[in-house]
Amino acid sequence: MPQPDLSPTAAPRAREQPTASPRARERPPTVPTGPTTPGAPTTPGDDERTAAPTPTPRNPYLRLFAAPGARAFTAGNLIARLPMGMFGVSAVIMIAAAYDSYALAGAVTATGTAAGALTAPWIARLVDRHGQARIAVPATAYAVLGQLVLLLCVHAKAPVWALFATAALTATSPNTGGMSRARWAHLFRGDRDALHTANAFEQAVDELCFMLGPVVAALVCSTLFPEAGTLVAAALFLGGVLVFTAQRSTEPPIAPRTAAGSPLRVPGMIPLLAVFLATGAVFGSMEVVTLAYVDGPAAGPVLALQAAGSCAAGLLFGRARRTARLRTCLAAMAVLMTLPLLAATTGSLLALAAGLLVAGMATAPTMVTGMGMLQRLTPTSQLNEGMTLAVTALLGGIAAGSATGGWAADHAPSPAFGFLIPVTAASLALTLALTLRATKARA
């Protein structure tokens, strides 16, 4: 709370009052215990004496959003992140409807994802050097333009090579989740508990967007026309980024560059990214083997239960006052990933759904803890780039896990065999974490 200005020029009327006795001057002013009557005469300093500090909310999430500007930038970021779960599904539906080939649709979307994984660290580096608003807006506009060009090519049934070329144009999408986490790190620098809650909230948002995005995309495409999902996603993406970057009061200042060079040179960074790579393989393989095992309209809702479990666990983990070690979270993940495997051997769809729900509860705590470690390792001037490298590692792991899971679905001796891959990937991530030696953070 600001203190009253006691300089000689601050209260000229006070010098016009009769001189008080020495004892009166020594007596501290009386602070009213209740509100003043409206319209009653006041003396200079009444506002300061009656003002009371705003109590800090006990709920960590209420405390999080009590920060000035937090609600505004979060709202814009939520709008911008929902399309991240819509673009892929919308492109698959749109291309498959026009060219009657899911293989082509999958290859085109994979090309866009791979190109985005390669360019994302460079976009994040520009954000760190020049600021979020200055880079994110033109990068988003260029990515949206690429989506619209892809839509026009599909609508006109352009040659196949044109689809791959235009898919690469969408690779400039900025890491909106990373920029949001950077704002929380700026607002609560030095407050480890609040930053832990913020990371948990961001992870829950990630799960929510990737759970709702495909549903919204499929609904829009089936209700209106195949290209409608891409149009809606592009409008939400651009509009959300504009709202997010307009909140300049919470934008992190551009930190001076350090002599460290790339964040990859920071001790402990490469082993931590290897952990993210193996963790991504858990997600990618689990998605593919589950879809192959269920093989029907129930596959989507059953798979969404894993994201739902992760979302709920992330919100609960954010309320915890003590954080866990990364290796503890990975050990829990390795154990819980055996539940879908055991459920699949029974042949019961309900058992598999329950196993996925419980297994997903280890995802968010693992990601929150890993992102917290990465934030402590990465220099402030390279925070966006460091977090984007983690996302790139995750995407690489997801791609490798998807490919391995697809191979297992086609060649495994039994349908349940594919669920061994997520267990193996989680065990590998745990092994890598046990060998991790970071100088600035503890695993």
> Domain ends where: 232, 254, 276?
254
Global confidence as pTM = 0.68
Query: 439 and 320, same structural domain?
Result: yes
The CATH number of whichever domain residue 386 belongs to comes to 1.20.1250.20
Whether residue 391 contacts residue 124, with contact meaning beta carbons closer than 8 Å, is answered with no
Query: 198 and 110, same structural domain?
Result: yes
pLDDT digits (tens, 9 = 90+) for 386-411: 777 888 888 788 878 877 777 777 77
Query: 289 and 321, same structural domain?
Result: yes
Whether residue 193 contacts residue 321, with contact meaning beta carbons closer than 8 Å, is answered with yes
Q: Residue 335: its pLDDT value, please?
A: 93
Residue the block writes with tokens 């297992």: 408
pLDDT digits (tens, 9 = 90+) for 136-162: 999 999 999 999 999 999 998 889 898
- Let me know the angle formed at the C-alpha of 68 by 376 and 252, rounded to the nearest 5 degrees: 40
Question: Is 61 within a domain?
Answer: no
Q: Which of 54-68, 180-194, 276-290, 429-443 has the lowest mean pLDDT?
A: 429-443
Nearest-angstrom CA–CA distance, 42 and 94: 69
Query: 351 and 223, same structural domain?
Result: no
Query: 435 and 406, same structural domain?
Result: yes
pLDDT digits (tens, 9 = 90+) for 334-356: 999 999 999 988 888 889 989 99
User: What is the extent of the structural domain holding 424?
Assistant: 259-443
Whether residue 89 contacts residue 218, with contact meaning beta carbons closer than 8 Å, is answered with yes
How would residue 13 be classed by pLDDT, with cut points 50, 70 and 90? very low
Whether residue 226 contacts residue 99, with contact meaning beta carbons closer than 8 Å, is answered with no
Question: Is 10 within a domain?
Answer: no
Q: Is the pLDDT of residue 49 over 80?
A: no
Q: Residue 427: its pLDDT value, please?
A: 93
